[in-house]
Amino acid sequence: MRSRLPVVLVLPAVAGLAFLLVPLAGLLVETPWATLPSQLFSAEVGQALQLSLICASLATIVCLVLGVPLAWLLARSDLPGRGLLRALVTVPLVLPPVVGGVALLLVLGRRGLVGQYLDQWFGVSLPFTTTGVVLAEAFVAMPFLVISVEGALRAADPRYEEAAATLGASRWLTFRRVTLPGIMPGVVAGTVLCWARALGEFGATITFAGNFPGRTTTMPLAVYLALETDPDAAIVLSIVLLLVSVAVLAGLRDKWIRA
Amino acid sequence: MAATLVLAGCGSQHQPGTGVTGEITVFAAASLTGSFQKLGKEFEAANPGSKVTFNFAGSSALAQQINRGAPADVFASAAPSNMKQVTDTGAITASPATFAKNTLQIVVPKGNPGKITGLADFAKADLKIALCAEQVPCGAASKKAFEAAGITAAPDTLEQDVKAALTKVSLGEVDAALVYRTDVKAAGDEVEGQDFAEASSAVNDYPIAPLAKAPNATAAQAFVDHVLSAKGREVLAEAGFAAP
């Protein structure tokens, strides 16, 4: 028989749960449910929601392609200054997103360190484009993926990799066939966190990519601007974003994480 | 004008320097930051024992905070519409007085790389243009100006506030934006301002009023009077605001 749950853990746990859920409940209580369907099916909301889902998913793919190898480098290589590198990777986590957006402008903007050459040589300008939204979201969300995958890598038993190596597998083959399957729960959890963060991204997006309906206006931007004139509409938009993200996350959870 | 007279009339018994004390909390539009901080210092110097605290933010955010019961004494809004949100709920019962006017200016990066000469350039698709979103006061004013000029603007981005639009210009990311004259003035050498004729059809009024439930009602009225005084006008004019 299990012993009783310790009160010192249960009380703060319940308080923590309430702290996270009560503001959401407040949102639900204030929701003008009658206008929800008409808002949900309005062209502007549909457009913003679609853009949000596409951009967050593309940003997540960018993060996976770049972030998993980066996590592997941080966890497995004997690079000098790895500790410092690990700390630097988490900088976008602590940076106010608006500052992140300004930093992206300073590098990739029309007059930025790299951006001026993109503009002169290739005629490519990233600010105020959908690509800009994806970049801003990936910048802010990637640390979530890297930290989670790196944690899984460091917790994984290196003996399986060593065994594969003694059997003659190359490091790339070992990574694909031994390491990656072993850390899959960490990768999935990181991907979910990364996608959720990208979906809710506001500060870096509006600063770097601006706000233009159909091109860069994602749901969080639409919510912010609705709040200026019509708080009720802003609540409805928030609920829409909330429902969609909970549906996606719950779906993923059942399919992937428990398994 | 009538409202100004009424407020000035009932304020005459609380002129600065008549011993107003205690803390005064002023909720003021972000565009008033510089000039109101200066007015606050003056007020504190004239009324020993008083302390003015500011909450600067977008007018609509302030209106919502007040309607949700934030303990403010005075509300100074960048648009009559946001003031109306507060008078509608009865959080303010006094009639608001207009204390300043702000007009739009074309703002371009230093050196004017896009060779902008007037409002008509805002319709050119090959130029990068930032405007304020229609939901915020500077965007509503821009819309009026374009309507008056009969121009359909082709913006690349609709910014969430006037400072964000200005940042895009000072970083050189856009060739031009429409912002308030006071913001151009505050931005200094990074940017250049250009006047345009249609600005006169999109003038923004700034109303101020004490709150009905002001915790420090006497001081609230005294601060409003200070803003409306000749001395207050002077500080506001320095920042680029026009007299009401």
Strand order in the sheet with B204-210: B50-57, B22-29, B74-76, B204-210, B97-102
Q: What is the ipTM of this complex?
A: 0.80
A178 secondary structure, DSSP code: I
With beta carbons less than 8 A apart as the criterion, state whether B137 and B62 touch.
Answer: no
- Rounded to 10 deg, the angle between the A130-155 and A43-76 helix axes is 40
Any idea which residue has 């460091």 for tokens?
A154
Cα A48 off chain centre by? 18
With beta carbons less than 8 A apart as the criterion, state whether A113 and A35 touch.
Answer: no
Q: How many CB atoms lie within 10 A of CB B102?
A: 29
Residue B8 banded pLDDT, cuts 50, 70, 90: very low
Asked if residue A174 is part of any domain, the answer here is yes
| The pair of three-digit structure tokens given for residue B242, joined into one six-digit string | 């026009």
Query: What distance in Å separates the CA atoms of residue A217 and residue A222, rounded to the nearest whole number?
Result: 6
Kindly report the pTM of this predicted structure.
Answer: 0.82
Domains located in chain B, CATH noted: 2-101+204-238 (3.40.190.10), 104-201 (3.40.190.10)
Taking an 8 Å cut-off on Cβ atoms, the answer to whether B157 and A128 are in contact is yes
Residue A44 banded pLDDT, cuts 50, 70, 90: confident
Alpha-carbon distance B217 to nearest alpha carbon in chain A (angstroms)? 28
- A216 and B CB contact within 8 Å: yes
What mean pLDDT do residues A63-76 have? 94
Query: What distance in Å separates the CA atoms of residue A33 and residue B243, rounded to the nearest whole number?
Result: 45
CATH number for A76: 1.10.3720.10
With beta carbons less than 8 A apart as the criterion, state whether A143 and A198 touch.
Answer: no
- B172 and A CB contact within 8 Å: yes
Rg of chain A on CA atoms, in Å: 21
Range of the domain at A157: 41-257
> Per-residue pLDDT for B6 more than 60?
no
Bridge partners (DSSP) listed for residue B75: B27, B209
Map residue A21 onto helix, strand or coil: helix
What mean pLDDT do residues A195-208 have? 94
Which residues on B lie below 8 Å from A111 (Cβ)?
171-173
Per-residue pLDDT of A215-230, as tens digits, reads 999 999 999 988 877 7
CB pairs under 8 A between A and B: 63
> Per-residue pLDDT for B2 more than 70?
no
Asked if residue A200 is part of any domain, the answer here is yes
The larger pLDDT score, comparing residue A231 to residue B179, is at: B179
Which residues on A lie below 8 Å from B164 (Cβ)?
206-207
Query: What distance in Å separates the CA atoms of residue A209 and residue A140, rounded to the nearest whole number?
Result: 13
Taking an 8 Å cut-off on Cβ atoms, the answer to whether A210 and B58 are in contact is no
**Angle at alpha carbon of residue B182, lines to B226 and A108, rounded to 5°:** 140
Asked if residue A12 is part of any domain, the answer here is no
- Could you please report the per-residue DSSP string of B38-52? HHHHHHHHHSTTEEE
Query: Mean pLDDT for chain A?
Result: 89
What mean pLDDT do residues A80-93 have? 90
- Domain count across chain A: 1
Taking an 8 Å cut-off on Cβ atoms, the answer to whether A105 and B173 are in contact is yes
- A103 and B CB contact within 8 Å: no
Q: Choose the closest CB to A228 out of B130, B135, B156.
A: B135
Taking an 8 Å cut-off on Cβ atoms, the answer to whether B158 and A212 are in contact is yes
Asked if residue A13 is part of any domain, the answer here is no
Asked if residue A25 is part of any domain, the answer here is no
Residue A255 banded pLDDT, cuts 50, 70, 90: low
Query: What distance in Å separates the CA atoms of residue B71 and residue B73, rounded to the nearest whole number?
Result: 7
Bridge partners (DSSP) listed for residue B54: B26
